[in-house]
Amino acid sequence: MTTFSRRAAAHWAASMAFFVVGSSFTDAATITSAPFGTTQQGQPVVQYTLANSHGVSITCMTHGAIVTRIDVPDRRGRRADVVLGFGSVADYERYNGNIHFGSVIGRYANRIAQGRFTIDGRTYQLPINDPPNTLHGGPRGFDEKLWTVVRTFQNNTVAGVQLRHVSPDNENGFPGTLTVDVTYTLTDDNEVRIDYRAKTDKPTVVNLTNHSYFNLAGEGSGSVEGQLIMIAASTYTPTRADSIPTGEIASVEGTPLDLRALTPIGARLRSSFPQLRHARGYDQNFKLDKPGQRDGEPAFAARAYDPASGRVLDVYTTQPGLQFYTSNGLDGSVAGVSGTTYRQTDGFALEAQHFPDSPNRPSFPSTELRPGDEYHEVTVWKFGLR
């Protein structure tokens, strides 16, 4: 069984080139802001763009704390947006409630069986939005809220923005007033660091992630089936047909889920393996071999690579699980920011998170948060070239 840590992943980094600083790029990290329209309720939305000296930039907005674009150069220095998204707040409001492009997911990423869980002997019922279960915190989750900017910061090597949402007691049935902060930081090492922090005034459950859909060839460029993926996980959590875990921790050995070496995303996508049939593609939670520790150093979790452009994405996290999703729900019904219609496999998501249905699975890592404690998880996206 192979395990990975950030230090042990150094041999991966050796195959990656640093971006060349171009004359059109700034000499220091910067942060800029610009209006991005208004919500249906007339609330102004602002976008914040963080940029570094190597031509990498990330843009997020106050609506949903959503990542709307990430621009990264290829091996020839040509920049492209490598995440799927929309060009207006109106389109995010109209379509993104079921798609979640770039979204911060909360209060609970992934599924809770029958929308029900128990804490301290009391059972809580959530709205069912993925029958018969609750998905991504229920209807009108965190990605449909207007977030407040707490602060921005920058120096020569980093730029960042911290956003906050206060979720009231009993929002979508979850107990406790939950104060959530999400901080995006871009470094001069081409890392996007996401810090998630939360505090509650009542015992509750929390599981936060970001649901960006990546296409390392560039948004609107078509299928990612030829791009390569590896996930540092020897086991996964099998699910029933309704995507709720059975409770088993199963080996990936001998299955299409064995992605411990770089593998074309499309190589096994059409397998008759039951887990892939249930999900209509990849949509599984992998138990990371060596997860990072809360308030500690994030550990290596996954790598994606596009041979055509040379772009590489490495993922590090403190979370115990990683949901790999091949955009199975995209069916040609929406067009993205470039005007291109999105279809299945036009992007992939690598959602670092706790396991689905953990509140009902005592053997899974706990997602409970209690007053006086702080939830703090970190995910890092590191971009490079090969």
Closest alpha carbon to 143 in 212, 48, 49, 244: 212
Q: Are 213 and 223 in contact (CB under 8 A)?
A: no
**What are the tens digits of pLDDT across the range 304-337?**
999 999 999 999 999 999 999 999 999 999 999 9
Which one of 171, 211, 219, 354 is the catalytic residue? Answer: 211
**What are the tens digits of pLDDT across the range 51-60?**
999 999 999 9
For residue 28, is pLDDT > 60? yes
Q: CA 69, CA 97: separation in Å to the nearest integer? A: 18
Q: How far is CA 155 from CA 28, 117, 186, in A?
A: 7, 44, 11
Burial of 79 (0-12, 13-18, 19+ CB in 10 A): middle
Q: Which residue has the higher pLDDT, 260 or 28?
A: 260
Q: CA 69, CA 55: separation in Å to the nearest integer? A: 13
Question: Is 351 labeled as catalytic in the residue annotation?
Answer: yes
For residue 360, is pLDDT > 80? yes
Overall average pLDDT of the 72-101 stretch: 96
Q: CA 36, CA 46: separation in Å to the nearest integer? A: 5
Q: CA 216, CA 383: separation in Å to the nearest integer? A: 10
Query: Using omega within 30 degrees of 0 as the cis cutoff, is the peptide bond preceding 107 cis?
Result: yes
211 marked among binding-site residues: yes
For residue 18, is pLDDT > 80? no
Q: How confident is the model at residue 227 (pLDDT cuts 50, 70, 90)?
A: very high
Which one of 63, 351, 354, 377 is the catalytic residue? Answer: 351
Closest alpha carbon to 266 in 322, 224, 308, 313: 224
Residue 29: other Cβ atoms inside 10 A: 23
Closest alpha carbon to 236 in 281, 280, 282, 205: 282
Q: Which amino acid is at 340?
A: T
Q: CA 170, CA 243: separation in Å to the nearest integer? A: 25
* Residue 59 tokens, joined: 């843009």
268 marked among binding-site residues: no
What does DSSP assign to residue 171?
Answer: G
212 marked among binding-site residues: yes
Overall average pLDDT of the 107-136 stretch: 96
Output the pLDDT for position 1.
33
Output the pLDDT for position 8.
43
Output the pLDDT for position 21.
35
Output the pLDDT for position 14.
45
Q: CA 269, CA 262: separation in Å to the nearest integer? A: 14
Residue 93's SS3 state is helix
What average pLDDT does the chain have? Answer: 92
375 marked among binding-site residues: no
CA angle 133, 134, 138 (to 5 degrees): 155
For residue 184, is pLDDT > 70? yes
Q: Are 245 and 355 in contact (CB under 8 A)?
A: yes
Q: Are 83 and 347 in contact (CB under 8 A)?
A: yes
331 marked among binding-site residues: no
Backbone angles phi, psi at 109, to 5 degrees: -70, 145
71 marked among binding-site residues: no
Q: Which domains are delineated in the chain?
A: 10-385 (2.70.98.10)
Question: Is 368 labeled as catalytic in the residue annotation?
Answer: no
* Residue 252 tokens, joined: 């990936």
